[in-house]
Amino acid sequence: MVCTGAWAADADSLVTVRYDFTQPLGSEWKYVHEPVRDNYVIHDGMLRLYASFTSLKDGEQPTFVALKPDSADFSLTMKIAHIDFLEGDEAGLAVYQAPMGHALCCIYNLRGDRRIRVRVVLKNMTVMLSDRSLGIDPEVWLRVEARGGLYHFSYSVDGQYYKKLESVDASLLRPVVVGQGNGILVGPYSYMGNPKLQSGRSFVDIDELIFIH
């Protein structure tokens, strides 16, 4: 399924904010735990995220920086300009409610093939919902749209036309334990899944991000 780059939102009730990463991250950006500051670098108009050894599921200082929507309906689109990592690493876009309640639209390598998939962590389960090859495109745009109680994930290789990946029921991400979650956070992350393979630091460069909420 292919959809256009425009999102049919009510302009009177939603606010559009564009980040070009020419300035340090402001106070609106949130972290799951006390961040490792060296993993977040602004350079050449991009946000570079160095991968952490801990994942969002681990819940201990993952490389993840996020925005908090003001409404149930929102959209976040980000352009990944460059990725430098090996097999076992991944980076992408996360919708986070709790360590055992989040959805990921992530890019990873598998035997030389760069791929994109949607993965959902629900309680004690991890569910793969979509997985496909990206080819050799050096840039990719990731998008999540929250509408009607669903999170709709899509991607583009030209910033104009988006291909649908999967939709996730928002209610599935709610934590079992009351008070465990901090409300929805959405933003980019970077994870080093196999540190034994690394000779250096894996990272992802985010060129721009558009947040409608």
Model pLDDT for residues 52-75, shown as the tens digit of each residue? 988 998 878 999 999 999 888 999
Q: What is the pTM of this model?
A: 0.89
CA dist 105 to 15, 30, 74, 198, Å?
23, 19, 16, 23
Separation between Cα atoms, residue 56 and residue 146, nearest integer Å: 20
Output the CA–CA distances (angstroms, integers) from residue 68 to 11, 90, 167, in the order listed: 19, 23, 20
**pLDDT at res. 195:** 64
Whether 5 shows a pLDDT value over 50: the answer reads no
Residue 177: pLDDT over 50: no
Give pLDDT, residue 162.
97
What's the mean pLDDT when you consider all of the chain? 87
Does residue 198 register a pLDDT over 70? no
| Element at 109 (helix H, strand E) | strand 101-110
What does the pLDDT read at residue 26? 94
Edge to edge, the sheet with strand 63-66 lists 30-31, 63-66, 185-191, 90-98, 101-110, 113-122, 125-133
Domain architecture of the chain: domains with CATH:
22-212 (2.60.120.200)
